[in-house]
């Protein structure tokens, strides 16, 4: 079974600073997808960034980037120039595709990030 | 982008009654829908996976007779909590995946169920 570990339950950082959230996972699969989701106080889950395991290049979406280390099974999220709106719970998630239409996400326990004005 | 509408956002029901939560994909066909439960300050726990036109697949420990899932069309899935009890009070979230994995998973806005 796949597991996802987020070792930082809470983090806080000053506005405009850079912060890195860590995530490790365990799997025997070679083909998989990794995601970071954001859950603000509204509790709406929002996709932040996605990485395909077969791609060596790290994914980037504006201020959000990942450091994907496949051999180490590590998938950290870096938020640059942090903004107050980045305050949220962040979940790392893992998925292995299959041909049976029931690919499911396995979530980590989350990191609560607070951006301090 | 893909939108999933979930209703109601909040519901309070009496113990012993049943509650239905709807999840609709508004601008895409959701071949697979997932139902999660989230306790306060905790992660999402997958309850079941449903594919349109077939029976739902429940995760271990989830009572299929209590949490009835129906996915009768490509745009609608429902979760019915039957004979609800206070311990069923929680935040329930649906998620849909369209036919193209590229788009990932789109989540509904969640339903807070309180059983009194």
Q: Using one digit for the tens of pLDDT, what is the confidence trace for A58-116?
A: 999 999 999 999 999 999 999 999 999 999 999 999 988 765 556 788 999 999 999 99
pLDDT tens track for B36-80: 999 988 899 999 998 888 889 999 999 999 999 998 888 999 999
Number of Cβ pairs closer than 8 Å across A and B? 52
Cis ω for the linkage preceding B13 (within 30 of 0): no
pLDDT tens track for A40-69: 999 999 999 999 998 889 999 999 999 999
What does the alpha-carbon distance between residue A5 and residue A30 come to, in Å, rounded to a whole number? 18
B101 DSSP assignment: G
Q: With contact defined as beta carbons under 8 Å apart, do A65 and A72 qualify?
A: no
End-to-end Cα separation, chain B, in angstroms: 37
Burial class (CB in 10 A: 0-12, 13-18, 19+), A70: middle
Q: With contact defined as beta carbons under 8 Å apart, do A79 and A86 qualify?
A: yes
Q: What angle do CA B77, B30, B95 make, to 5 degrees?
A: 65
Closest CA in chain A for residue B95: A45
Radius of gyration of chain B (CA): 13
- Subunit contact B32:A101, Cβ cutoff 8 A: yes
Q: With contact defined as beta carbons under 8 Å apart, do A11 and A113 qualify?
A: yes
Q: What angle do CA A70, A74, A80 make, to 5 degrees?
A: 115
Closest CA in chain A for residue B36: A105
Q: With contact defined as beta carbons under 8 Å apart, do A4 and A93 qualify?
A: yes
Tell me which residue in A97, A105, A108 faces B105 most closely, judged by beta carbons.
A105
């Amino acid at each position: 079974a796949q597991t996802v570990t987020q070792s930082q339950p809470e983090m806080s950082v000053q506005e405009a600073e850079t912060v890195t959230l860590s995530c490790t996972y365990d799997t025997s699969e070679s083909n998989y997808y990794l995601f970071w989701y954001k859950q603000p106080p509204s509790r709406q889950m929002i996709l932040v960034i996605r990485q395909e395991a077969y791609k060596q290049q790290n994914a980037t979406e504006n201020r959000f980037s990942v450091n994907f280390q496949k051999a180490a099974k590590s998938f950290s999220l870096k938020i640059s120039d942090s903004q107050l709106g980045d305050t949220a719970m962040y979940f790392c998630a893992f998925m292995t595709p299959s041909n049976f239409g029931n690919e499911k996400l396995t979530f980590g326990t989350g990191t609560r990030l607070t951006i301090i004005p | 982008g893909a939108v999933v509408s979930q209703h109601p956002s909040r519901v309070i029901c009496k113990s012993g009654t049943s509650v239905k939560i709807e999840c609709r994909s508004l601008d895409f066909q959701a071949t697979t829908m997932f139902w999660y439960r989230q306790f306060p300050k905790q992660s999402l726990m997958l309850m079941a996976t449903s594919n349109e036109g077939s029976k739902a697949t429940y995760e271990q420990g989830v009572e299929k007779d209590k949490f009835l899932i129906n996915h009768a069309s490509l745009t609608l899935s429902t979760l019915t909590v039957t004979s609800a009890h206070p311990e069923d009070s929680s935040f329930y979230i649906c998620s849909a995946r369209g036919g193209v994995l590229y788009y990932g998973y789109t989540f509904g806005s969640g339903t807070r169920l309180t059983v009194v």
